[in-house]
Structure 1
Amino acid sequence: MFPIEYFLGLILIGICAGFASGLLGVGGGFLIVPLQYFLLKYIGVEPNLAMLISLGTSLAIIIPTSLSGAYRHTRSMDNILEPGFKLGVFGIIGGVIGGFVASGLPSRILEIIFGCLLLFIAVNNIIKINNEKEDARIPFNIITVGIIGVLVGFSSGLLGVGGGIFLIAILTSLLGFSMIEAIGTSSIFISLTAIGGFLSYMISGWGVSTFPYSIGYVSIVNFLLIACFSVPLASIGAKYAHRVPQKKLKIVFSVLVLYMALKMLGILP
């Protein structure tokens, strides 16, 4: 039913997204969503359905992938478990809401929202590329944790990403986390918050999705093939994250996010 290049494309997505997830603490959704979307459209899937499948399946893949990276990070840092878990609990709530909202929006609107948010984050990181660690501007308490967790979780469910690209920017610019601390905390957060979004896509697409071998808007074929490669690669990426200077991590992070932003906005072909 699927052409061979489709399977090869899924394998490449798993390799790239898995390594990026562990290295940058971003879950890999910013790669998994657009690359899956382009691949699904290539085999003739209608754009709206392709986008929803990309979003829902991405969140399902992010759960085991980010857990793999989180485990590796916690072996090197013991101070990331508590903030990551607290943020993640609120993130699950936001993720459920965001997932249900996304199922009622046209795919082009989601592409533009996704692209604009990525563009903002890329520019912000480029401007602050030389900042190793900033002073905390707001306190890390239950109120700020709840607000940040729900909002980032909402973006996770809405856009099919773990939310790491947003959380890392917030942790480093507002809460005084170093880049590596933010990456480790984010990997824990996204492994939890992706659960909420994943469940909402599975439920909202139940009996609606026409894509073969899927549960709601979650493709079993895509999930299995991508996750088989993304999970082990996430562990490898997390291992390298502790060896690479923080400035270089920021550069890699910013370039990847900027490219995907321009791609989703239609500026790049």
Structure 2
Amino acid sequence: MFPIEYIIGLILIGICAGFASGLLGVGGGFLIVPLQYFLLKYIGVVPDLAILISLGTSLAIIIPTSISGAYRHTRTLDGIIKPGIQLGIFGIVGGVIGGFVASALPSRILEIIFGCLLLFITVNNIVNINKEREDARVSFNYATISITGLAVGFSSGLLGVGGGIFLIAILTALLGFSLIEAIGTSSIFISLTAVGGFLSYVVSGWGVNTFPYSIGYVSVINFLLIACFSVPLAYLGAKMAHKVPQKKLKIVFSCLVFYMAIKMLGIVP
């Protein structure tokens, strides 16, 4: 039923996204969403359906992948569990809302939103490339926790990503976290937030004739093939993150995010 190149593509997504998830604390959705989308269009799935399947399935994959990376980070970093859980609780609520909003929007609008947000994150990283840690511009209290959690959770559900790429930018640029602390906290946050968005895609796509072997807008085939490789690679990536200098991490992070941004905006084919 599925071409062999489609199967191979899903396996490669799992390897790349899993390693990136653990290394950069981003969940891997910024790779899983667009690459799944391109693969689905390749086998003839219409764009509006392809983007929803990519978003919903991405969130399902992010849950076990981010848990794998988070477990490794907690073995090395102290004090990341509490802020990760606090942010994640609000992120779940935001994720549910974002997922329902996404199902009502045309695919091209989602692609443009996704691309613009990724460009913003790239610029922020380049501007602060030489800084190990920025001074906190706002306090990390219940007000900022709730606002940040809800906003990043909403973007997670809307765009089918764990929200890590946005949370890391906020934690490092506004709240005074070092990059490695932000990566560890983000991994915990992502594993919680993705649940809310995932459930909304299951519910909103329930009863819709979407794709073979799907639950709502979540493809079981895509989930199993990608997750089988992303989960172990996330653990390996998280282990590597503690051995790589922060400046190099920022460079790798910025390059990957910039490429996916211009890809989603249609600047490159």
Give distance in 1, aligned partners of 2:223 and 2:229: 10
Equivalent position amino acid for 1:49 in 2: L
Residue by residue over 1:96-128, the C-alpha shift from the partner in whole angstroms, topping out at 9 and shown as x without a partner, is 000000000000000000000000100111111
CA gap 1:209/1:56 in 2 versus in 1, 3 angstroms: farther
Give distance in 1, aligned partners of 2:235 and 2:30: 18
The match for 1:234 is: 234
- 1:71-220 mapped onto 2 (5 Å cutoff): 71-220=71-220
Give distance in 2, aligned partners of 1:210 and 1:190: 26
Is the CA contact 1:209–1:217 (under 8 Å) kept in the aligned structure 2?
no
Give distance in 2, aligned partners of 1:190 and 1:61: 11
The Cα shift of 1:203 comes to 0.3
Matched, 1:29 2:35: no
Give distance in 1, aligned partners of 2:8 and 2:267: 26
The match for 1:256 is: 256
The match for 1:70 is: 70
The Cα shift of 1:210 comes to 2.3
Equivalent position amino acid for 1:45 in 2: V
Give distance in 1, aligned partners of 2:256 and 2:268: 13
Give distance in 1, aligned partners of 2:40 and 2:152: 27
SS of 1:134's equivalent in the other structure is: coil
Equivalent position amino acid for 2:239 in 1: K
SS of 1:117's equivalent in the other structure is: helix
Equivalent position amino acid for 1:5 in 2: E
The match for 1:14 is: 14
Residue by residue over 1:137-195, the C-alpha shift from the partner in whole angstroms, topping out at 9 and shown as x without a partner, is 10111111000000000000000000000000000000000000000000000000000
Residue by residue over 1:202-225, the C-alpha shift from the partner in whole angstroms, topping out at 9 and shown as x without a partner, is 000001142110000000000000
SS of 1:139's equivalent in the other structure is: coil
Residue by residue over 1:218-250, the C-alpha shift from the partner in whole angstroms, topping out at 9 and shown as x without a partner, is 000000000000000000000000000000000
Give distance in 1, aligned partners of 2:13 and 2:223: 11
Equivalent position amino acid for 2:94 in 1: G
Q: CA RMSD in A?
A: 0.4
Is the CA contact 1:49–1:209 (under 8 Å) kept in the aligned structure 2?
no
Residue by residue over 1:71-99, the C-alpha shift from the partner in whole angstroms, topping out at 9 and shown as x without a partner, is 00000012100000000000000000000
SS of 2:113's equivalent in the other structure is: helix
Give distance in 2, aligned partners of 1:190 and 1:210: 26
Structure 1 segments of 4+ aligned residues over 3 angstroms from their partners: none
SS of 2:52's equivalent in the other structure is: helix
Matched, 1:266 2:234: no
Give distance in 2, aligned partners of 1:70 and 1:159: 21
Equivalent position amino acid for 1:52 in 2: L
The match for 1:225 is: 225
Give me the identity figure in percent: 83
Equivalent position amino acid for 2:182 in 1: A
Q: What is the TM-score with the length of structure 1 in the denominator?
A: 1.00
Structure 1 gaps of 5+ residues are none
CA gap 1:209/1:148 in 2 versus in 1, 3 angstroms: farther
Residue by residue over 1:44-64, the C-alpha shift from the partner in whole angstroms, topping out at 9 and shown as x without a partner, is 001000000000000000000
